A and B are shown apart, each in its own frame.
Chain A
Amino acid sequence: MPETFDTEYDHNKEFLTVRTSRNMLESFDRRKIVQSLIKETGISKEIAEEIALEVEETIKKLKLKFISAPLIREIVNVKLLERRLEDARRDYTRLGLPVYDATQIIEKGVRENANLQHNPETIHKLVADWVMKEYALLKALPLHLADAHMRGEIHIHDLEYFVTRPYCFQHDLRWFLKNGLKVDGTGENTAVAGPAKNAEVAILHAAKALAAAQTNFAGGQGLDFFNVWLAPYMAGKTYKEIKQLAQMFIYELSQMYVARGGQVVFSDIDIEYGVPKICQDLPAVLPGGVVKDSITYGDFEEEAIMFARALTEVYLEGDYVGKPFFFPKPNYKLRRECFKKEGFDEFMILVHKVVAKYGSPYFLNLLAGYLPDNVFAQCCRLVLSPDNTDWEDFKNGCMRTGSLQVVTINLPRIAYESNGNDEKLFELLEERMKLAREVIEIKRDIILKRMKQGSLPFLTQDVNGEPYYRVDKVVRSIGFVGLNEMLKAHTGEELHESKDAWRFGLEVIKRMMDIAMEWSEETGQRWVITQTPAESASHRLALLDLKEFNGKAVVQGDVKTGAVYYTNSSHVRVSADVPLFERLRIEGAFHPLCNGGMMAHVWIGESSPNPELLWELTKKIATKTLIGYWAYTKDMTFCRDCKNLSGGIKKSCPNCGSSNVEWYSRVTGYYQRVSGWNDGKRKELFDRKRVNLG
């Protein structure tokens, strides 16, 4: 609201000059307080006038040298509270951060999100995040939900974007190739591009579509069948030209430092070996957006393979100074049909050379027997199995879906509160899930409202009479953290310590899945269970529980320093001395229950395994376990002085001895600089039990 004060009413102007929020100096006028109180809080005129008079008297008594509109507002708030008008105070208060905290952000930044560098854009983002988080907790969410988050019963992810954007999305590049690109969603603020007529432009459109979408989403942006949909544009090109295009795309997405307050786009591409059977008969979108029934994707098998290979080689080479590309995250799909294709083994050995050197690839396992043919992976670990209507979209050239919002359940907290009583534990589990559901239902209404208000223009673009973003087609994600600590607190044993504890853990997550399925039937919307990445949640919730349940809380890390964390989702404790396949067998059992996303990690430390043996290991994981999605994480030390990259977490550069080094590892579902990690995650990094594949 404009906090100005009328100059014509000047009974006290000689000593009360107000610095307004419009950056003007004006004379105090208590009528402005009356007007704003009535407008913003709906209280009666009588009370508003009484408060305004009191405020004026207080200000006069204080004989202040500096009076500003925010200061007046603070005094008004006290007067509201004195009258027990708490709701009115909530509506009238200002949002923002203390001067001290603003200074800290400006001068030091924060470490809550490892992707955030300390730069002018992120400083603006962090200050804005503060206001938007407060707004979400104060205004958008009812008190019982805001408090459930603050107490640590649940963790509402991306609160800073809660009232403005949905979470993450998987796009269908064919739609942009066929229709061109309006990066602002309307074409009114930016130039409008028609369908790409050549490969270079198609590549740029793919990169810009993700960057544009990122401005309307909080989380990851993915492109499924990336090399398949672009294969027709590679026709007639030499391998060298195709590799140049692959390089262009990867550099675009790892260098456009513009999204969400100075970050690269959180991007994924799904890479196929050739053209999968499900795509072969689909009419291909050709240069110029032309579609002919007689030309299908099956006609571009060779180009799809060449492009997949080229992308992989670019990942293998790394950037100009030899660092890996962290984004776009490459997801390689393992399909049974690929094993029959010529050159697949050779291709996968190339992929595993990238694993051995940088750890960058991710594997989506269609051999486990429970994921459908058009499953995709994106963001930190969102793995979604499309439903029947998605198949229709897939055939019609615009399959698109994502997650609206993630809310995580703090599982260990439930164990502390249920005191060993199974019945109570399952009762609390359902209760917490209902809190999560309430949050997500509010989010749905908010996003629908924003779409109507026109503040999500990329999402309201028209696709054959429907908006690009269909709120009721995306999933509602309920995550969980700390199953291992829940089991320890409830059964006395950790996940890996007994078959019974493992079984009880499976019962807990199955109950969650059953509830989500019941809700899906009841609402006609898609409720799913996901293994939360918990980059900040695992640390925040462990800290809160330690404070609230001291003596009872089971946390990992260092209690003395506060560098504590919960084990992610249904993972085995990272430091547990468990053989690799036993770990994967235990963790894999949970993957079919997590229909909204899952991920397993194989920590390979500093080793550079033989790519051929590593490929054998991948095949074994794919065929012998239920792991649906996983990555091998290699720790790396990069020397800022001599630019040498070496394996492992080292205090100094093994090449030049400099201690001016940066470490890289996978924080949760993506690689990032360790210096940006929170204390809990840093401790976890050192606790991780690596497998020696050297």
Chain B
Amino acid sequence: MKNPYSERMYIIGAMIVLPILYFIFRLFILQVMDTSYKLSASSNVLRNVTQYPARGLIYDRNGELLVYNQPVYDLMVVPGKLAPFDTAEFCQILDITKEYVDRELKKAREYSMFRSSVFLKQISSLTYAVLQEKLYKFPGFYVQPRTLRNYSGDIAAHILGYVGEVDRQMIEQNPGYAMGDYIGITGVERTYEEELRGIKGNNVFLVDVHNRIRGPYQDGRLNSPAELGNDLKLSLDAVIQEYGEKLMRNKIGSIVAIEPATGEILSLVSSPSYHPELLVGRVRSQNFRTLASDTLNPLFNRALMAHYPAGSAFKVINGLVALQEGIVHEHTRHTCPGHYTVGRLTVRCRFHTTPVAMPAAVQVSCNTYFCHIFRDLLDHPKYGSVTNGFNVWAGHVRSFGLGERLDTDFPNELRGNVPLAGYYDHFYGENRWRSLQLISLAIGQGELSVTPIQMANMTAAIANRGYYITPHIVRKIKNSDADNSKQEKIFTSIDSVFFEPVIEGMHRAVNGPDGGTARVAQVEGLDICGKTGTAENPHGDDHSVFIAFAPRDNPRIALAVYVENAGWGSAMAAPIASLIIEKYLTGSVSREWLENRILEADFINREIALADGQEN
């Protein structure tokens, strides 16, 4: 019986042979004609091995080493080269559990059998020493040296900032980074990341088919060695910084000290702080969580980011503006009956000799005097309206670097707030507000808010009699032409001749024989000029504020001190400022009693005790 469809075997044969012939044709093109695939193949047998540079070191202004690097070792694994090993001994050396080993090896296997994965990050050199001798027992593992930050002291955490591993988002934004690289996240580590990080090196090796490195490719001509990061020399004075942090222990607040002639930041304290080592290495993420959840917010850099009222210390600026605008003269006097009263509004003042002119008004911090001159300024007929008068005032205030970012070399600086006329227009309606409604600005309260570094900078401008240099923390970068030591003077809108009466007042406030608000800050022979402030705090006890510079002529240090909830400016802030100035100018502290009083003062645990008391 002949099958009627048996002819179809030829068609079926053709249907099978034709596609396979097509494959053969494609394979001929792919394997014999086309050479590009041979080139692609060679790029796979070269292995690029990254060489990680050490980050630049960080020194203080006197050459004291603050930040350096410690070698650590990442334990790498190539799962395809593993042989059975003694897990118990392995775990014991590295202080890890068997579950960890199983988990990490599984992860590594899933990634690749023949490429390296990180098995255990950041092994200390001590552990490494032990491991190194035994490493031959654990084939498939090898060690990749890395460096981690290390700190010579427990200071300046907020200034230095910290370093962390880049995440996916950062890599997308900065294409130069790869998984596993470190990057500065805050502080100087962040601002000067490009200087500090150095340049990653790359060694190109020839790898044979058995994954063994045969040697450098083309005798190493393509290798690029890692270049170390550049060292930084800070303007920071480690001694003053440490002393400031010591004085601020158990207090919330900030100290910023600047060298007026150069704008160099000598000290920048934000309290409470943390030990910089807490944010290094494997413990970083856990410690970070702990610090971030602390209600005292130790990660918050108050020196740059806390908004405070300026307080009475701001009266010096109002005095300067009034002098510049010709509202008062050095000898113009106002009588103070112990309060400033207009209609139902009363601003209280305290008892002092009366009448007062500018120096004495600053000396005794007379509220009445400054209310008078502030209103006289705003209401002066030459401006035509309060709005215009106010804008003139605000312009002068802003020329001291208030209300705007100073553009220091810190990330995350905040602006503070110097209100504009529009703010009051919005609040009261256009031309519907009078000088009286703004009266609290006369004594540094109201809508005005400042950061400690702005206050310190403002003080430096007063010390310089009319100009400041943008505050900065880095003085010099090694191997870099950038010289941060010489910078442009930024002039305020107040002529230098008007500063003397105000400075005289600040000098008398500290040194006045007939009594001043900050007598406690007096140090024989140092000629400290200062102004206290008591920043009214709607949420609790007033903040203690003090600004000062010294000596009076050719000042070498200008600073601002804020201590939260510590009451009068003379109570806490003034003594702290005085002790720091003394320490900086003389190298030692003569008033042990005062130092002890400050060190013992505790505004953190007291609060907690009070809170506890209320609960009970």
Q: Do A and B come from one complex?
A: no
Residues of chain A having any CB pair with chain B under 8 Å: none
